[in-house]
Homo-oligomer: A and B are copies of this chain.
Amino acid sequence: MSGRTPGNGGGRGRRARVTLRRIAEEVGTSQSTASRALAGHGYVAPEVKARVEEAAARLGYVPDISARTLKGHSSGLVGLLVSDLRNQFYAQLAAGVEQAVAAAGHQVVLVDDHGDESQAVRGARAFLSMRAAGVLLAPVGREATDLLVGHGTPVVEVDRRSGVRSCDAVTIDSERGAREAVGHLLALGHRRIAVVLDETMWATGKNRLKGYRAAHRDAGVPLSRRLVLDLGLRPADPQRDVAAFLDAHPDITAVFAANNVVAEAVWHELKRRDTAVPDRCSMVSFDDLTWMRVVEPGLTAVRQPVFEMGNRAARLLLERIEGGQGRTETRTLEPELILRGSTAAPGR
């Protein structure tokens, strides 16, 4: 199915770009008048303005952002750095960001660092290079944040905080979500609850573990280090690790999976070994994805307002860009425990 390249309208026709000057000539006025007419501010005779607008429309004029940017204004581009767009979590986040940014008439430049800090830094450099009006950072690592903040670019961290001062953040209260989830299991009578994470270095993993501990403290149930399984970021075969862990700890009656990735591994492993859920083993996930409400039994999960988080973060950034030089702030959104069929009293 190959096509021809038609003579004009289509194709390669690298016909001369229509510039302000061209329009000015067309209308018989000066470039600056044309600029003012189109920009809308500054005085222009209505009649001239109309003629300029007509010519612009007729010729298909498209303003050149680079020229405008070069002149001093920022590019109006908002950078978004995520660490894995294939993960539904980040996709939702990006969707929330995109929506708010588009509503403000800007565009999102998306970079996926695949969890690799050097990629993140390259992304940050690219944002700097294009004079992004601001940047949203969702990945781990603080080098990118440092670089951007050091150059005076407004930054908002999303979901994770790198610890860099003077930078806003929007997060979800991981500790509280975890505490509620594990508290729910404890209230049902579970006493040997495993927690599976893929990192405990960054705010998210760390706080979820903290919440797990806090819940035990609340309930006066002693903690056991052996019930903590940290798979590490990007484990080769998480399900196998979960399997080994479950084999080693047959006394476990419930599992708290600290995010959607580990939840999937845990779920598959439970299914593989035909463990009755919740009769034989209860399960709670942190992060509530489509599949969790579609499986049988539905997964009890901590729902995070992910889209909302992206949206709020973007709006905060936009405010900051507009001029807010005030104190930096951290906004925290609340997660919500959704009870479904995967949790019940132990030992039934």
Contact = CB atoms under 8 A, between A and B. Distances in A.
Interface in A80-104: 80, 85-86, 88, 91-92, 94-95, 98-99, 102
Interface footprint category on A = 35 or more
Nearest to A294: B291
Interface in A279-308: 289-291, 294-296, 307
Given A4-B165, A15-B152, 16 more contacts: A1-B325, A1-B329, A2-B327, A3-B152, A4-B327, A9-B150, A11-B166, A14-B152, A62-B125, A62-B151, A94-B94, A102-B112, A109-B109, A109-B110, A290-B290, A295-B295
Contact of A108 (B11, B110, B294): B110
Nearest to A99: B112
Contacts of A165: 3-4, 6, 10
Contacts of A108: 109-111
A66 B63 contact: no
Contact of A91 (B12, B85, B149, B264): B85
A276 interface: no
A65 interface: yes
In the A-B complex, the 3 residue pairs with the closest CB atoms: A291-B291, A91-B91, A66-B66
Nearest to A63: B129
A285 B305 CA distance: 28
A264 B290 contact: yes
The quantity of this chain's copies bound in the complex is 2
A256 interface: no
Interface stretch (A26-34, A69-77, A210-218, A246-254): A69-77
Contacts of A131: 64-66
19 contacts: A6-B165, A9-B150, A10-B149, A11-B150, A11-B166, A12-B152, A64-B129, A65-B66, A66-B131, A77-B109, A86-B91, A86-B95, A98-B112, A99-B112, A110-B110, A267-B294, A289-B291, A294-B294, A296-B296
